[in-house]
Structures are given as C-alpha cells and as structure tokens.
Amino acid sequence: MDRMKTATARKAYENVKGQIGGCGIWCGSCALGNGSLRALIGGLESVLDSHGAEHWAPSEMDYPAFSCGLDVLRGAASCVGCRQGGGRDDCSLRACAVESHVADCSDCTDFGSCANDELLQHMREGARKAGLFVRDPGENAGDLLAVWPKGLEASWPSTILFEDERCSNFPKS
C-alpha cells in the first residue's frame, strides 16, 4: 500500500475512531469514514498506473472513463463521522437520539420497540453484514472503544490501515 495514501487514511481513522453514531454503529469501523476505502481505491490506481493499464486494458472497456470514475469515487469516499455531521443526511435515528438525550440508541429504554425500529435494525444489521462494529444495549461505550481498535486490525478492509505497523516489524534484509 502506498505509504502516503495510508498515512492520509490513518488521519481519517483518527478523526472517527472515537465516534459511535446515534444508531450505535462505530464510525471507526466504517470504510467510508476511516479512510480504508479511499486507500484501497488509491492503491488500485497506483497498481494500474505502474502496470500501464491504459495500454493493455480490454478494448471493449472505456479505460479513461473508468479511471475518471475511480478518481471521483475516491474523492467521494470520505465521511467525517456521524457525530460531526457525516452519515445519512437528516438521519431520523441521529435526530431521535439527540432529542431523547441518549448517547446512542443502545442507551434508549425504547430500543427494539420505537417507531424508528425498522430503520434502526435495518441500519444496524446492514452495518454488521458489511463488517462494521455495532454497540448493543447494556454494553459500555468506553469499554468497546478500548477493545474495538484491536479487532479492527484483523477486519477487512480496515486491516489495511495498519499495514505500515506490520511492515515496520518485518526484519530488514
């Protein structure tokens, strides 16, 4: 992985690693917020460039358009986190958590039975399927934020954020 792109991604991770969204999803584990998707796309672009993909890409493929699309996607794959205005526009879950004076839905006495429950469970289940970490009722947010980063190191695609550390431990030949 390109070191500069990984460093940029790590900065994004530092920004979101303390944020648990209103719905209980950990922004630190989201590929759009923690920079891992941007780093992946950047890594793919580097490999394609260094291997001269524009010269051997299949002729039925519009390579310039594809390349431009990757660029646009890399620029768009950036979220500042739920607590800083990122995530879904006008999210009813975040708004309700704020109005209900709870840190997130996991602390709410109406969890599992409120009017927003269908959307809430949809978001939480979808996030889990995508490999994100989600807080459950009864779990302590501080405890989770202390252990989740370790779990993230082995979780694809966020694992790439920690490649530099792994590589620096390799014996120098």
Which residues of the shown chain bind ligand SF4 in the complex (CB under 6 A)?
Answer: 21-23, 25, 82, 87-88, 91, 93-94, 96-97, 100, 102, 105, 108, 110-111, 114, 116, 120, 123
Closest CA to 41 of 80, 6, 81: 6
Position of tokens 């800083």?
Answer: 84
By beta-carbon proximity to ligand SF4, the closer residue of 6 and 106 is 106
By beta-carbon proximity to ligand SF4, the closer residue of 114 and 145 is 114
The least distance separating ligand SF4 from the CB of residue 22, rounded to whole angstroms, comes to 3
The least distance separating ligand SF4 from the CB of residue 43, rounded to whole angstroms, comes to 26
The least distance separating ligand SF4 from the CB of residue 165, rounded to whole angstroms, comes to 27
CB-CB contact of 16 with 80 (8 Å)? yes
DSSP string, 9-67: HHHHHHHHTT-B-TTSBBGGG-TTTSSHHHHHHHHHHHHHHHTTHHHHS-TTS-HHHHH
By beta-carbon proximity to ligand SF4, the closer residue of 117 and 165 is 117
